[in-house]
Amino acid sequence: MTDVAPESDAPADEGNAKPYSVSELAFALKRTLEDAYGFVRLRGEISKVTNHANGHVYLTLKDERAAIDGVVWKGQVRGLSIRPEQGLEVIVTGKITAYPAGSRYQIVIETMEAAGVGALLAQLERLKARLADEGLFAAERKQPLPSTPAVVGVITSPTGAVIRDILHRIRDRWPCRVIVWPVVVQGDAAAGQIAAAIRGFDAMTADGPIPRPDVLIVARGGGSVEDLWAFNDEGLARAVAACTIPLISAVGHETDTTLIDFVSDRRAPTPTAAAEIATPILAELKAFVGDLSARMHRSGGRAVEDRRGRVQAAGRALTRIQDTVELAVQRFGIVAGRLAAGLARNAAAHERDLVRISSRLSPLLLQRPQAVQRQRLDGVAGRLRPGVLRGLERATERLGALTKLYASVDPDRPLQRGFARVTRADGSIVHAGADLASGEPVAIKFGDQVTRQAVIEGAATDASSPKAASRAAPPKPKPASTAQGDLF
């Protein structure tokens, strides 16, 4: 034990020792504990486990007469080989330190392992009960295995005898593709690698570069409880339960049982048995198909014979075709012999009827109705003629009036009397000379239907002014002499 000296450099009085402060004594004790107990291997039972929100785990280790607080920092929790649970007896390693603020000492745990097989099995039973309560072991969750898998995925060690046994057994039984995902099957890293392999196979797609397996086999040879403990990991069990590919667990020998045996879709007692469960025997399938084919042919033959017998029995009850035809031929011959005499009698009867009726037929029977109809038609025509003539006269008068009206409104008629029609370039008629501008082109149509083009020149003048009237008025003709001239 190292001596604790005060941190103050002031000399102590000869009669009294220098007093420590509380902080000085607490931190001095902390350094002393850490120096003296920097590495401690401690065995005890866990109690009062607290998983803090910041990721640290606080617990208490106890035995029959004492208890000590412990803490597992967040960075060390993931590296623990077992999960801290109340009542579990463990062996931990770490260092002793003090908590100055509370005058308590504790152990900072770095590693933790179960203290014996009994503790491991007890922890396993508690985990198994919890997963069973969640329904991970329920039979309705288990998937059926494919009857004829095309691709088999195997998760195991690539160097052991297990993979050779599986490949040899599959090769003898069923021609399929085997994809091996190499992993370690023992140690702290085994559970994580196996879970990652399961998730990797499950994430494959059917059209990817590596085909997706139809069934998975997780295999390992036999060993002790500690050797197989990686297959009791909770994370691995949940990965097996979440896998959508049917999975067969083949861990250890027939007497070995791990947690994934309860979660997997099928348990095999040995890895070789897993290969037999996953694949059928090709020779047996061929024999089975051949047996089915033979049974099908035999059944078909029996069905044909049965139908043939039934047809023959039904045929015996039917009339012979020759007898039926001969009877019909006889009836036809009898009827044909009677046909000529019947036709002659029928023709003679019609001839007698015609002779009897022809004596009463004469042209007057047709001429009399025609004469009556002709008289009626002449009477109707005599009454209709005056009315038709009157209507025709009125229509003729209306047509003459319309013809005169049409001639009076004909726009080309004034042209025959020396007038002309002036139109603009757009075809509109000019009604007044003042509407035309100087330089505007116009078209002039005359009575002979000839149209001449012209251009307006000069300004418009007012015809009402005297000056314009004098210009516009034509010269008056000289009055004719009233004196009678000499004819000679």
pLDDT per residue over 37-48, tens digit each?
Answer: 878 889 888 888
pLDDT band per the 50, 70, 90 thresholds, residue 245: very high
User: What are the start and end residues of each CATH 2.40.50.140 domain in the chain?
Assistant: 22-118
pLDDT of 350 > 70? The answer is yes
The CATH 3.40.50.261 portion of the chain extends over 140-284
Q: What is the pLDDT of residue 417?
A: 76
89 forms beta bridges with 45
> Could you tell me the pLDDT band of residue 164, with boundaries at 50, 70 and 90?
very high
The pLDDT of residue 364 is 73
pLDDT band at residue 460 using 50, 70 and 90 as cut-offs: low
Is the domain spanning 22-118 CATH 2.40.50.140? The answer is: yes
Superfamily of structural domain 140-284: Succinyl-CoA synthetase domains (3.40.50.261)
Q: Tell me if the pTM is above 0.85.
A: no
- Per-residue tokens: 281: 């025997």
Position 146 scores a pLDDT of 94
pLDDT band at 88 (very low <50, low <70, confident <90, very high): confident
| Residue bearing the bigger pLDDT, 462 or 149 | 149
Report CA-CA distances (Å) from 154 to 146, 210, 408: 15, 14, 116
Q: Give dist(CA 296, CA 291) in Å, integer.
A: 8
Q: Which residue has the higher pLDDT, 432 or 239?
A: 239
Tokens found for residue 315: 């045929």
Please tell me the predicted confidence (pLDDT) of residue 219: 94
Given a cut of 70, is residue 483 above it in pLDDT? Answer: no
pLDDT, tens digit, 9 for 90 and up, residues 118-147: 666 777 788 888 898 999 999 999 999 999
* C-alpha–C-alpha distance, residues 139 and 215, integer Å: 18
Compute the distance between CA of residue 183 and CA of residue 162 in angstroms, rounded to an integer.
13
Among the listed ranges 29-33, 276-280, 478-482, which one has the minimum average pLDDT value?
A: 478-482
Q: What percent of the chain has pLDDT over 90?
A: 31
Name the residue with higher pLDDT: 268 or 385.
268
In sequence order, which ranges of 443-482 are alpha helices (DSSP H)? 466-472
pLDDT at position 484: 44
Q: Is the pLDDT score of 257 beyond 90?
A: no
Mean pLDDT of the chain: 83
Inform me whether the pLDDT recorded for 106 exceeds 80: yes
The beta strand positions in 52-103, using DSSP E, are 57-62, 67-72, 89-99
- Closest CA relative to residue 276, chosen from 173, 176, 158, 156: 173
The pLDDT confidence band at residue 160, using thresholds 50, 70 and 90, is confident
Q: Across residues 246-256, what is the average pLDDT?
A: 89
| pLDDT score, position 145 | 94
Tokens of 48: 């009062």
**Exposure of 269 by Cβ count < 10 A (0-12 exposed, 13-18 middle, 19+ buried)?**
middle
Look up residue 482 and give its amino acid: T
For every residue of 176-232, DSSP letters joined together read -EEEEEE---SSTTHHHHHHHHHHHHHT--TTSSSPPPSEEEEEE----TTTTGGGG
Mean pLDDT of 19-35: 81
Closest CA to 225 of 251, 197, 196: 251
Mean pLDDT value across residues 297-318? 87
